[in-house]
A = this chain, B = another copy of it.
Amino acid sequence: MKSVEEVTAEVLQKIRPSLIESERLMRLANELLKTVRDLSNNYEGILDARLEGSVAKGTWIRGREEIDVFVQFSKDVDKDSLEKTILEIGNGVIKKFGGKTEVRYAEHPYVEGIISGVRVNIVACYKVECGMWLSAVDRTPYHTEYIKSKLTEALADEIRLMKSFMLGCGVYGAEIRIGGFSGYLAELLTINYGNFYNALKAASNWRPPIYVDIEGHYTDKREALEAFGRPHILVIDPVDKKRNVAAAITDTKLSEFILASKLFLDSPSEKFFYIPERTNGRIMMTEIRRALRGRCILGLRLKVQQKPPDVLWGEIKHTLKGICRALEYEGFKTFRYDAWSEGNMCIMLFELQELNLPTCYVHHGPPTYLANALEFVKKHSTAQDTVAGPWISGLRLYVLKSRAKTSVKDIIRMRLARGDVSVSAGLMEAVKHAKICKSNDELARLASKNISFRKFLFEFLEARPSFLTKHDQ
């Protein structure tokens, strides 16, 4: 078994950019910045433009280069003209460099392009005093400055290790679909614990609630946790004491990170730092069919509209929960659920204990000493769907009823059709017209036609976080 030092040294060899690569990227970044500044001169109310993100901090991972240029607007500029202006500047700059542009949406639209194989984002923010945020990205320049003030070359490598580890373990990314650790959070944790190894050692011993307050904004941990509504992890933003940098982390991702840390320290391996080849590569349809055998999977196919991913995935997650609740209410047992989306397609999967409910179920009545006991007896004694009873056990009445529908497909179709599922407004129509997969064969057919879905389906059926899959499968 390799030591942690051996593993991290080898990993660093792969993820640390060479001097030449660094210089090339910085040159491109600076050229872009200059062009943005030039174009900005044509507009009123633009105060500055700056490089942000991992390039500005020098903490990027080789192969995942990304240049963020932030255009800082005056507070006086209204949101509409800010959005209009950033699209004009963004499109102008990226076209000038021969890249193709695409408009993306966060709180505000921004422009994305690929130039010389590097992803470039041209983003608008307001230049405000610390704490006087007008939009979510206004903090970013302050984050960049804070990290730069703490950074050494050695620490940059530790941060690279941390980000790689989180990436390889599937817990990196603050977007709603993932609900994991942001790059800024990875940086803060590494800074807080001094280096990658110490941070991981700490994480392997984490027990919620976890509390990190690098700048000591609060004197009392308990008070701080109370103020934030007792989250399982609270990392105070050094530049904004009212913000929990870890607010977007789900319990699942937090727990995966804790477990991954334990496992890595228990048996260090490079596999923790890379997304497994296995699921990046081709998955055979025979494997899909084998994995589907004996499993009870309910699949729903929805047509979704184009919208910002965080909006769509917020809706998808809410809807998954709502459908799961409806299934449980009907008597099904849901083991797990997840969704996949690409373009205007979305497939929701629910693994159930069984696809058909028993034909009979016991309906609980009131205690016999309550006034409505008589009503219950009269109603159920003569009801068509009463199989046996009413009987009394202990203090209460019961009756054995037969179900009109028993298959999950019939039941969910009925509930979806009558809108009897708690669903996001934005997916209401899509869910009403959702197609229900008739069988595991149909799921396999869908997988055979779409490699991205095939990969998702395989991972869903394996049901293991990436750091638990065998890399040598």
Contacts and interface: CB of A to CB of B under 8 A. Distances in A.
Interface string A387-399: 1111111111110
A400 B294 CA distance: 12
B369 A358 contact: no
Given A255-B395, A361-B353, A206 B463 contact: no
A262 interface: yes
Contacts of A398: 335
Given A255-B396, A259-B374, A353-B360, 4 more contacts: A206-B369, A207-B369, A252-B392, A256-B392
Contacts of A336: 391, 393
Interface string A121-156: 000000000000000000000000000000000000
Q: Which of A367, A368, A369, A463 has the most CB of B within 10 A?
A: A368
A464 B255 contact: no
Interface in A18-45: none
Interface in A342-366: 351, 353-354, 358-362
Nearest to A335: B362
Q: How many copies of this chain?
A: 2
Interface in A310-362: 335-336, 351, 353-354, 358-362
A contacts with B: majority SS:
mixed
A393 B362 CA distance: 30
Contacts of A360: 294-296, 335, 353
A275 B43 CA distance: 97
Interface string A372-398: 011001000100000111111111111
B463 A388 contact: yes
Contacts of A263: 374, 377
A259 B392 contact: yes
A467 to B, nearest CB: 10
Given A369-B208, A388-B462, A259 B377 contact: yes
What 9 A-B pairs are tightest by C-beta distance, nearest first? A388-B463, A259-B368, A255-B368, A207-B369, A389-B463, A391-B463, A251-B394, A255-B392, A258-B368
A285 B396 CA distance: 31
17 contacts: A207-B369, A208-B369, A252-B392, A255-B369, A255-B396, A259-B368, A259-B374, A259-B377, A259-B392, A262-B373, A351-B400, A381-B464, A389-B463, A389-B464, A390-B468, A391-B463, A391-B465
A413 interface: no
Interface in A449-471: 461-465, 468
- Interface residue tally of chain A, by bracket? 35 or more
A460 to B, nearest CB: 9
Interface of A: 206-208, 232, 251-252, 254-256, 258-259, 262-263, 266, 294-296, 335-336, 351, 353-354, 358-362, 367-369, 373-374, 377, 381, 387-398, 400, 402, 461-465, 468
A394 B362 contact: no
A367 B259 CA distance: 9
A387 B208 contact: no
B368 A256 contact: yes
Nearest to A376: B259
Contacts of A381: 464, 468
A59 to B, nearest CB: 27
B255 A358 contact: no
B294 A374 contact: no
Contacts of A259: 368, 373-374, 377, 392, 397
Contacts of A392: 252, 255-256, 259, 465
A251 to B, nearest CB: 5
A395 to B, nearest CB: 5
Contact of A358 (B266, B353, B394, B468): B353
